[in-house]
Structure formats: C-alpha cells, structure tokens
Amino acid sequence: MDIRSIYVSNGTGIFILGMLLYASRARIFRRRLEDRLYTFLIIGVMLGCFMEAFSYTIDGRVFPGSRALNYVANTYLFSFNLMLPFCVLVYVDLGLYGDLSRIWKRYRPQIIVGAVMIALTLVSAFVPICYSISEENVYERKPLGYVYYFIILYYLVISIVLTKRYEKEYGAHAFLTSICS
C-alpha cells in the first residue's frame, strides 16, 4: 500500500468517526459507563487511524527520535487494537445486561489474556518479540505479533455470539430495545 492510500483510508476513518462522535455528543455528557465506553472506543479508533498513518509516514525515515516515535506509535497500535475489541465486548454486554459485576465474573480469562498480550507489547519495545524496528527505523512484525489477530477475532466473535444468544433468549424486540437505549 502506498502512503496516499494510508492517508486517504485513515483520514476517511477519522472523519467518519468524528461525525459519529459529533452525532452522539449527548452520550459524552451522560455518566453511564456504556456511554463513556462508546466515546472511548471512537476516540481510541480515531487515534489509531492517526497513529497508523503516522507510523507509515516515519517508517524507514531516520531523524533524531524517529525510532522512539515509531515504537510509541506501534506500541499504541498493538495495545489498542487488542483493547478496543475487548471494550466492544464490554460495551455490548453492558448494553444488553447492564451489570458491571457480570463483566468481571464472566470475562476474567479474556481480561487476563489481554493484559498479558499488552504486557508483551510493552516488552517488545525492548525485546523484539511482537515486532521490531531496525536501526534504519523500519518496522517488522514478528510471528508472535500474529497471535494478536486471533485474540482480536476471538473478542469480536464473543460479542456476536453474545448478541445472538441474547436475541434468541429474550427476543428481537428486547434485543433492539436494549441496544438502542
């Protein structure tokens, strides 16, 4: 992918998410956890779009602090690409069941796996286990980095299964009412 494609796709993403954030500004002022999660998700993905474009821009360019900036951008991308799908899962669960204590009981293994993977991301800044950045400031994904995709997919599949299960158990009307409120 060339850099213009990265700018266009991420710029479009930032614009669309900005529109969603603006359209949902009432959520920002409510104090419900689901609303704060929604806002966190949108801002987190917007920042991810920016960081991806930024990391592509500085990749392979050497200037004072370039490697540190590349590590910051890629550490953010690895961490938040993992954290945001888990937040989607929590957002969906809270929207359906409205019980925060259920989250900690039900998703403890997922929380532990996510925390371990984020810790590995932080370690990767010093020991190249998920990714490395060469002296020429070139990013390279390591084999462990692909494990993140499976965990992300797992979180998203759990979210889909959760919504389908809720809809089957309580009916489509209850499902739509809980999601749209």
Higher pLDDT, 106 or 35: 106
Task: Domain of residue 21: give its range.
Answer: 3-180
In this prediction, what percent of the chain has a pLDDT beyond 90?
Answer: 70
pLDDT in tens, 153-174: 999 999 999 988 988 888 765 5
Side-chain-side CA neighbours of 160 within 13 Å: the count stands at: 6
**Which of the four pLDDT bands, split at 50, 70 and 90, describes residue 180?**
low
Q: Kindly tell me if the per-residue pLDDT of 179 is higher than 70.
A: no
Supply the pLDDT for residue 98: 85
> For the whole model, what pTM was predicted?
0.86
Closest to 52 in 3D by CA, of 32, 34, 75, 31: 75
Radius of gyration of the chain (CA): 18
Mean pLDDT of 79-98: 91
Q: Per residue in 48-60, pLDDT tens?
A: 999 999 999 999 9
The model's pLDDT over 5-34, given as tens digits with 9 standing for 90+, comes to: 999 999 999 999 999 999 887 766 777 888
Q: Which of 62, 96, 74 is nearest to 148 (CA)?
A: 74
- Split into its structural domains, the chain has a count of 1
pLDDT for 178:
54
pLDDT of residue 181: 54
